[in-house]
Amino acid sequence: MEFILLLGTPLAGAITLGLIGNRRWAAEANSLFSLGTFLAACALTVRVIGAGNLLVGREQFFIDPFNVFLVTLTAFVGLTTSLFSRPYMRIETERGRITPGRLRLYHSMYQLFMATMLIALTTNNLGLMWVAMEAATLSTVLLVTLYRTPASLEAGWKYFILCGVGIAQALFGTMLVYFAAEKVVGAEGVTALLWTHLFVVKGQLEPVVLSLAFVFLLVGYGTKVGLAPLHNWLPDAHAEGPTPISAVLSGLLLNVAIYAVVRCKVLVEGSLQTQLPSRMLMGFGLLSVVLAAFFLWRQRDIKRLFAYSSIEHMGIIAFAFGIGGPIANFAALLHMTVHSLTKSAIFFAVGHATQKAGTQLIADIRGLVTLSPTVGWGLMIGTLAILGMPPFGLFASEFLILTTAMREQPWATPILLLALGVAFAAIFGRVQPMVFGDSNVKRLPHSPALLPVFAHLGLVLMLGVFIPPYLAHWYRAAALLIGGH
């Protein structure tokens, strides 16, 4: 029942809001559907923790410790983003940037996007996972181009073409997995792509075909992750789309894409008994961190700045999964959690800041702490958190990743430290004047309610100081599963 509600609620929301998404109360309805999805995710989590792994729908869907925590995180960020989008989209509508028809499209596609991500996370079928990822791409293209400006249309077209080519590579990789498994699992059609079946017989799969499949899968899904040099769509999509969509793209879609990569990695490493997938992940991850760190210095748009920050952190996560082992996998899962919470909180604050300033140019936004203290402090605290300052959760996860790298991959540690230092200087040097610089604009009489911002940052602070035992057990179980146990 919980699983049916988890997928059925956003799908019902997409249909309902497609009909009435331009009404005055549509934003509240969007939030109510998101709340229903979150409650269903919590109920499903409780069930999985109590009863163990869950197979649903003739084994087409599978929930285990790895994906159930991502389901809960996705539903939570989806809920808080829907709460943030209520005042944000109302202001955009009042200013004439969004028409009633586009508002209906926004609400409907938002729910469809949530549904496709949840399907991609919970499906046991590698083919259905590919379909869900493609559907997520199509729904977000419509959201990125919502403003219909030349820049947003260009960003949406680039996003569609690059991710379309990438997802085509992933399709070919999925076909190769089927070819490698058919002789072992049997010519059972769709059953040959069930992850649980493949995991049991992973040692018997054709290694040469499977190694080639992983190359295509990593390139395909790695495009969605934003790993360099496949990242070109990401900064434009973040900068030109509505800010709530920037939040879910950075905080959720990238996690779902890297989840797909890691699921495939588990199968391929079990078959090959080599470190090829791990080395590829480390290589792409390290390249992403270094490239993003230096690109940060060139950014003049605040949303593009934090888009490149997302590429950097996805690179860190990919590198950690490449190292492997219980500690590195635990750190990668923790980093996925705190990055999602922190980056979405930053985009919430950035959305309000750009609306107040009327621009996304960093040089034209000054004195936020005077103009609107809650926005200014939200952006500053979020920036310190994303830069890995203690005692926030990103410090804990990055510390675990770096110390593990010192022991397992000492050659990579200086490169990581240099890139993190460059990124710190680039981001802090641009955000600090935005918050504390001089401004001639008078303080606004009312500041927006930033409950989603400070709720996220409060959780990130808690995870840096104390991880609840049940959550730590959750991470450990997922880390062992990723390790092939």
Q: Using DSSP, state whether 63 is helix, strand or coil.
A: strand
| Beta-bridge partners for 54 | 63
Q: How far apart are CA 79 and CA 38, in angstroms?
A: 7
Q: 90: which 2 tokens?
A: 């109302």
For residue 184, what are the contacts with CB-CB under 8 A and spacing of at least 6?
201, 204, 205
- Residues whose CB is less than 8 angstroms from the CB of residue 180 and which lie 6 or more positions away in sequence, other chains included: 205, 206, 209, 210, 213, 271
Beta carbons of 430 and 305 less than 8 angstroms apart: yes
Nearest-CA neighbor of 423 among 306, 318, 284, 314?
A: 306
For 483, the token pair is 């390790």
The tens digit of pLDDT for each residue in 375-397 reads: 889 999 999 999 999 899 999 99
The total of other beta-carbon atoms located within 10 Å of residue 104's CB is 18
Residue type, 308: Y
Q: Which two tokens stand for residue 291?
A: 């490239």
Give the tokens for residue 140: 């977000």
pLDDT at 190: 62
* C-alpha span between 262 and 277 (Å, rounded): 9
Q: What radius of gyration do the chain's Cα atoms show?
A: 21
Side chain identity, residue 328: A
Q: What pLDDT score does 314 carry?
A: 95
Segment (H or E) for 56: strand 54-56
Extract the residue ranges of the chain whose pLDDT is less than 50.
none
Tokens encoding 464? 């840096």
The residue length of the chain stands at 485
Please give the Cα distance from 292 to 422 (Å, whole number): 10
d(CA 124, CA 420): 36
Residue 411 contacts by C-beta under 8 Å, 6 or more apart in sequence?
none
Token digits for 218? 């990593």
CA-to-CA dists, residue 235 to 152, 216, 241, 255, angstroms: 12, 23, 10, 16
DSSP at 125: B
| DSSP-derived 3-state class of residue 61 | strand
Q: pLDDT at position 472, please?
A: 87
286/323 Cα distance (integer angstroms): 11
Q: What share of the chain is helix, strand, coil (3-state, %, to 5)?
A: 80, 0, 15
Euclidean distance between CA atoms 123 and 60, whole angstroms: 6
Q: Is 54 helix (H, G, I), strand (E, B) or coil?
A: strand
